[in-house]
Amino acid sequence: MNRYPLWKYILVLTVLTVGVIFALPNLFGEDPSVVITTEDGEIPAEETQSEVLSFLEEEGLSPAVHEVLEERWVLRYDSTDRQMRASDMISAKLGRDYSVAMTLVPATPQFLRAIGAEPMFLGLDLRGGVHFLLQVDLDAMINDTLEGYERDIRTLMREERIRYSSIEVSDEQDLRLIFTSEDLRARAEGLISEQVEGIEIDKQPSNGDYLLIVKLDEDDQQEMINLAVQQNVTTLRNRVDELGVAEPIVQRQGSDRIVVQLPGVQDPAQAKEILGATATLEFRFVDHSDFPFTGDPDDPDAVPAGSELFPTRNVEHAGDYVLLERDYIVTGERIIDASSGYDQQTGSPEVNIRLSGTGGRIMNRATRERVGDHMGVLFIERVTETELVDGEPQRVSREIEEVISVARIREALGGRFRITGIDSSEEASNLALLLRAGALAAPIDIVEERTIGPSLGAENVERGFMAVVIGFFLVVAFMAVYYRVFGLVANLALFTNLIIIVAVLSMLQATLTLPGIAGIVLTVGMAVDANVLIFQRIREELKAGTPIQTAIDRGYSKALSTIADANVTTLIAAAMLFIFGTGPVQGFAVTLAIGLATSMFTAIVGTRAVINLIYGGRKVTELKI
Amino acid sequence: MEIFKQDPNFNFLGHRRIGFGLSALLLVISIGSLLWQGLNLGIDFTGGTLVEVGYEESIEVSEVEAILAETEFEDAQVMHFGSPREIMIRVPPMDGVEQAQISEQIFDKLSAAHDGVDLRRVEFVGPQIGEELTEQGLMALGLALLGVLIYVAFRFEYRFAVGAVAALLHDIVIIIGFFSLTRMTFDLTVLAALLATIGYSLNDTIVVSDRIRENFLKVRKGTTEFVMNMAINQTLSRTLVTSFTTLLVVCALIFLGGEIIRGFAVALLVGVLVGSYSSIFIASATSLALGVSKQDLIPPEKEGSDQPDLEVPPSERP
């Protein structure tokens, strides 16, 4: 009795070994580092590397270690002060062709990294940084779309000579048309449902008037919202990349919210400036007095009054510079969607653009008389960079203006038009991306903002760690005194449990937050419950005069159903927390659930293995419990 | 080492009227305080702005209030947070003021007045998010209770489920009442602790109920009350040991975990104490009051001659 088959011992040992290996990376800590990549995300060339190194040596800022890790060039430092200074110096020296980011790089040894063992990811409350929750203003976007339909329908009514009392966008996010007779309404309904796509029409009796309600089609609207939020995520991600923050998080949350987390960033004002940055687009007519541009770009007289000269980016057939008229036709805010595709007749690549109602109206009026002329798309972006001023790094913001497309106007343009004559499908999809990502698809509001200072973060880690350690030792001491040998075995299980929890969290690459630490601490307190239940049962059996070996066996088997019931009910509570909670509550729920599962394993299977090794299969006269 | 050398034999259920009375009193105080002064909700729930700053030397709350009095944030709530060198400022949601700028303005004002002010934490939560959180919190609570009710009714018997849920509601109301009475801030971490307490209290209740069921199947003689009392006494050592170890850890959190996690730890402390008490005086007593009996727990197919061993073990013989 009380002997495990060999496979059970092997199972326990395997779990323990894997646990130790995957928990190990957390012991090595992290080095403050500067990570350098080229603009295209590649490792800088050898010569650039040695140039940077000798420059740093001159400044007395040589890194402790420099190495290539995961396609990035990493310079490790021993203090954050030196790291920050070095980062400023390097980014000022290398300029905008390189991305220079400050980050903490885990000091995990190579052999652990090789098998994919990485430390847990620390949450913002533990490392400091900024968290934003942004809300996408969908109402504004829907209203803009409805205004577009309003214009289309007005034109339609006029062309077909259907008289109406009024057409207007209501507060209920629909379009209301009022007619004076049933006949007019029926004709209008037939016409609209035939001509306009993506809407639902509803008739409603109203006193004396004949009301027609046009709503956006539910599916269409859902897709539009989806695209807008997705596009905002992309735009924000591009902007965050400009910040040079390591390991940023830009994630969609729910239907219309976006979470942005910037570890290590301490200045929310600067972060907000860049997130809300105005990368805008302008559609302008090309000045044909000198097209393609032949003058000297440095000569101010080469630019006629009323025009401006801009450099071009990847625009074929237009030279390096283009003269555009000073006034714009519409701006990128009017773009609702842009997608790349192929011309159905010629099969050549094209970009389809959809403007908002107002945008389409303005575009139509402006292009009607300029068929045959060229139109240019100007991309304006405000960027913040680090520059060396008198040997001191300083942050400067400046505007970049580039023409990203020049195309001939073949006919009067409206709300939907396309840019053709593009060389490759790749170029077309890039242009579509720029048109889309240039500006935000729908306005965003900051609905939640949390900043944790680095000193507070470090303090949180230290205190959380202390609480775990002290709490753990108090419990261990008590168990050893109260249950003697069995108590020691339980302590072993408790310790193993802690290792396995850390290992599982590391394997899942879960983010450890303060409530997560609390979850671990609580697990330590409650994890002993399973062992307490078992040990009390064994004591009862011994008091009842059961033989020792039988008492151990019955103790375990009788306690099992109680432990299962109790843990399943707690798991139900943890699941509810996870499903209906948000960020920190979810973190707590995950650690609690993992803790429950691992503690069941260590407390039931693990301790039994050790107890069997000590007492199993031999004659025992006294049980130290 | 053992808490009880002899098997304990306290007549818990015999004194259930005292227990009910005590609980009723606590519930009345809790609900009364909730109705009278409500909860001191944190910005997670109310929305608003929270700014925590650290000074190099101790600073009086009145001094900070004086600085803020000259600004539009004169109504801000100022308090010490953790130590006399740390100050927490809470500004309710304001109409017409760009929410996200409040923290910057406050920090600028404070650092203009004193040197060495360190911005430790800024939190801004929109009022809409706060509303959603309250709804989500209540929903999580409601569904957790429902899930428990269903599971326990399925595994045990509906009277036990009612008893368990009554005990949980009892614990929740008392913890919330405690936070209302002491005016401690009720924030997201306290909500998490509240839900963790549900897990703990439930754990306790299930252990006792499990033993009651076992005894019903095993013990032939004795009234329902006698059998239930026996189960409570048998599990008493375990209840005390587990609450004690959990309390050890919770106390470590309270004293060492830092200010941000203190609300969480205090809620757990109250939860563990009340949870252990309620598994006896509320859960068991309620199912007893509802008239649970041996017949309710005996599986029908095992009735009659198929009954397993009905012998009372010597140690459990009355």
B313 pLDDT higher than 60: no
For the CA atoms of A96, A100, A101, A107, the dihedral, rounded to the nearest 10 degrees, stands at 160
Domain termination site, one of B75, B105, B125: B125
Instruction: Please give the single-letter amino acid code of residue A606.
Output: G
- Put simply, the answer to whether A569 touches B151 (Cβ < 8 Å) is yes
Specify whether the CB–CB gap between A33 and A77 falls below 8 A: yes
Could you read off the pLDDT of A125-182 as tens digits, one per residue? 888 888 988 888 788 778 777 877 787 788 788 878 888 888 888 888 888 888 888 8
Pairing of β A335-342 and β A349-355: antiparallel
The rounded distance, in Å, linking the Cα atoms of A454 and A459 is: 8
B119 and B247 housed in the same domain: no
Residue B317 inside a domain? The answer is: no
| Nearest-CB residue to A572 (from B54, B151, B241) | B151
Residue B311 inside a domain? The answer is: no
CA–CA–CA angle A489, B200, A488 (5° rounding): 10
Q: Which residues of B touch A528 (CB under 8 A)?
A: 241-242, 245
Chains A & B: contacts with CB separation below 8 Å = 228
Residue B3 inside a domain? The answer is: no
What would the mean pLDDT of A67-83 be, rounded to a whole number? 85
A70 Rama sector, left if φ>0, alpha if ψ -120 to 50, beta otherwise: left
B36 and B148 housed in the same domain: yes
- Supply the pLDDT for residue A332: 76
Structurally, chain B folds into a number of domains equal to 2
- Using the structure block, give the residue that is written with the tokens 């401006």: A308
A373 pLDDT higher than 60: yes
Q: Which residue does chain A place closest to B120, by CA atoms?
A: A453
Give the burial string for B38-69 (b: 16+ CB within 10 Å, else e).
ebebbbbbbbbbbbbbbbeeebeeeebeebbe
- Put simply, the answer to whether B264 touches A515 (Cβ < 8 Å) is yes
- Supply the pLDDT for residue A195: 76
Q: Which residue does chain B place closest to A483, by CA atoms?
A: B1
- Using the structure block, give the residue that is written with the tokens 């009086």: B60
Maximum distance among all Cα pairs of chain A, rounded to whole angstroms: 110
pLDDT band at A273 (very low <50, low <70, confident <90, very high): low
CATH (domain of B67): 3.30.70.3400
CA-based nearest distance A456→chain B, Å = 6
What would the mean pLDDT of B62-79 be, rounded to a whole number? 86
What would the mean pLDDT of A240-251 be, rounded to a whole number? 73
Find the length of chain B.
Answer: 318
Specify whether the CB–CB gap between A148 and A415 falls below 8 A: yes
| Of A389 and B219, more confident | B219
Tell whether omega for the bond before A292 is within 30 degrees of 0, i.e. cis.
yes
Give SS3 for A280: strand
Residue B307 inside a domain? The answer is: no
The rounded distance, in Å, linking the Cα atoms of A440 and A230 is: 10
Give the H or E element holding residue A541.
Answer: helix A514-543
| Of B210 and B126, more confident | B210
A255 pLDDT higher than 70: yes
Segments forming the whole domain that contains residue B164 = 13-40+129-297
Could you read off the pLDDT of B28-55 as tens digits, one per residue? 999 999 999 999 998 888 888 899 999 9
- Supply the pLDDT for residue B302: 46
- Supply the pLDDT for residue B232: 94
- Supply the pLDDT for residue A300: 81
Q: Which of residues 141-160 of B touch A (CB under 8 A)?
A: 143-144, 147-148, 151-152, 155
Q: Which residue does chain A place closest to B204, by CA atoms?
A: A566
CATH (domain of B159): 1.20.1640.10
Q: For helices A182-195 and A138-159, give the axis angle rounded to 10 degrees.
A: 110
Q: What is the CB neighbour count within 10 angstroms for residue B169?
A: 16
B23 and B78 housed in the same domain: no
Percent of chain A residues topping a pLDDT of 90:
16
SS in 3 state form for A456-498?
HHHHHHHHHHHHHHHHHHHHHHHHHHHHHHHHHHHHHHHHHHH
pLDDT band at A454 (very low <50, low <70, confident <90, very high): confident
Least confident segment among A431-435, B119-123, B218-222 = A431-435
Q: How far is CA A500 from the centre of its chain?
A: 28
Domains of chain A: 6-24+453-615 (1.20.1640.10), 30-106 (3.30.70.260), 139-220 (3.30.1360), 279-439 (3.30.1360.200)
The rounded distance, in Å, linking the Cα atoms of A308 and A294 is: 14
B214 and B133 housed in the same domain: yes
Could you read off the pLDDT of A275-312 as tens digits, one per residue? 765 556 788 999 888 877 888 888 888 888 888 899 88
Find the length of chain A.
Answer: 625
Q: Which residue does chain B place closest to A525, by CA atoms?
A: B246
List alpha helices for A211-325, DSSP H.
218-243, 268-275
pLDDT band at B166 (very low <50, low <70, confident <90, very high): very high
Residue B99 inside a domain? The answer is: yes
What token pair was written down for B48?
Answer: 């608003």
Could you read off the pLDDT of B113-139 as tens digits, one per residue? 888 888 888 888 887 788 888 888 788
Residue B215 inside a domain? The answer is: yes
What would the mean pLDDT of A536-565 be, rounded to a whole number? 92
Could you read off the pLDDT of A517-533 as tens digits, one per residue? 877 877 777 788 999 99
B226 and B170 housed in the same domain: yes
Contact status of B119 with chain A (Cβ, < 8 Å):
yes
B111 and B241 housed in the same domain: no
Interface test with B, best of A139, A267, A451 (most B CBs within 10 A): A451
Domain termination site, one of B87, B102, B125: B125
A63 pLDDT higher than 80: yes
Interface test with A, best of B98, B217, B253, B311 (most A CBs within 10 A): B253
- Put simply, the answer to whether B207 touches A562 (Cβ < 8 Å) is yes
Interface test with A, best of B245, B250, B266, B272 (most A CBs within 10 A): B245
Contact status of B77 with chain A (Cβ, < 8 Å):
no
For the CA atoms of A438, A441, A446, A452, the dihedral, rounded to the nearest 10 degrees, stands at -50
- Supply the pLDDT for residue A437: 56
The rounded distance, in Å, linking the Cα atoms of A338 and A359 is: 14
- Supply the pLDDT for residue A246: 67
Q: Which residues of A touch B313 (CB under 8 A)?
A: 544
Average pLDDT, chain A: 83
- Put simply, the answer to whether A570 touches B202 (Cβ < 8 Å) is yes
Q: How many CA atoms lie within 13 A of A549 on its CB side?
A: 12
Nearest to A558 by CA among B220, B141, B244, B238: B238
B25 and B56 housed in the same domain: no
Could you read off the pLDDT of A157-172 as tens digits, one per residue? 887 888 888 888 888 8
B179 and B78 housed in the same domain: no
Contact status of B186 with chain A (Cβ, < 8 Å):
no
Specify whether the CB–CB gap between A350 and A341 falls below 8 A: yes
Percent of chain A residues topping a pLDDT of 70:
89
* DSSP tag of A449: E
B147 and B232 housed in the same domain: yes
What would the mean pLDDT of A29-52 be, rounded to a whole number? 83
- Supply the pLDDT for residue A262: 87
B53 and B170 housed in the same domain: no
- Put simply, the answer to whether A584 touches B248 (Cβ < 8 Å) is no
- Supply the pLDDT for residue B307: 46
What would the mean pLDDT of A443-458 be, rounded to a whole number? 82
- Put simply, the answer to whether B241 touches A539 (Cβ < 8 Å) is no
B76 and B208 housed in the same domain: no
| Of B162 and B147, more confident | B162
Residue B116 inside a domain? The answer is: yes
- Put simply, the answer to whether A450 touches B124 (Cβ < 8 Å) is yes
| Nearest-CB residue to A532 (from B242, B247, B315) | B242
The rounded distance, in Å, linking the Cα atoms of A599 and A497 is: 6
Q: Which residues of B touch A526 (CB under 8 A)?
A: 200, 203, 242, 246
pLDDT band at A478 (very low <50, low <70, confident <90, very high): very high
Contact status of B202 with chain A (Cβ, < 8 Å):
yes
pLDDT band at A13 (very low <50, low <70, confident <90, very high): very high
B174 and B73 housed in the same domain: no
- Put simply, the answer to whether A447 touches B126 (Cβ < 8 Å) is yes
Specify whether the CB–CB gap between A162 and A193 falls below 8 A: no
Q: Which residues of B touch A135 (CB under 8 A)?
A: 126, 128
| Of B264 and B100, more confident | B264
- Put simply, the answer to whether A452 touches B121 (Cβ < 8 Å) is yes
Q: Which residue does chain A place closest to B188, by CA atoms?
A: A585
Residue B200 inside a domain? The answer is: yes
Domain termination site, one of B105, B125, B145: B125
